[in-house]
Amino acid sequence: MSTEKMTRVEENFQRALGLKKMVDRWHSSHTHCLWQMTLSQRRNPYAVLRMQDAMEQELALANKQLLMVRRAALHQLFEKEYQQYQEELRQTGKAFYVERL
C-alpha cells in the first residue's frame, strides 16, 4: 500500500473516531433532553414541542454521522483484506495486474 493511501486511510480513521465522539455527545444530549421533557412537561407544552423537534433533528444528524463512521470502518476493513489477499498471492508467486501509465 502506498504512503498516500496509508495516509488517507489513517485520516479517514481519525475522522471516523471524531464522528463517533460526536454521536456519543448527541446521545448524551438526547438523554438530557428527555430528562428536561419530563420536568417541564406540565409547565410548558410549547417547550416540549420545540425539544421534540430538536431531538428529531439531532437523531437525523446522528444517523448520518453513524453511517459515515460505519462507511469509514468498512473501507478500512476492505483495505486490510485487500492487502492480506495481495500478500497471499505474493507468497504463491502471483500478483494483481496493475496498468502503469
- DSSP secondary structure of 20-72: HHHHHHHHHHHHHHHHHHHHHTTT-HHHHHHHHHHHHHHHHHHHHHHHHHHHH
Q: pLDDT for 12-27, tens place per residue?
A: 888 888 888 888 888 8
- The pTM of the whole model exceeds 0.75: no
Domain boundaries, the chain: 3-91
Q: In the numeric block, which cell numbers belong to residue 37? A: 421533557
Neighbours of 62 (CB within 10 A): 19
- Which of 19-33, 37-51, 64-78 has the lowest average pLDDT? 37-51
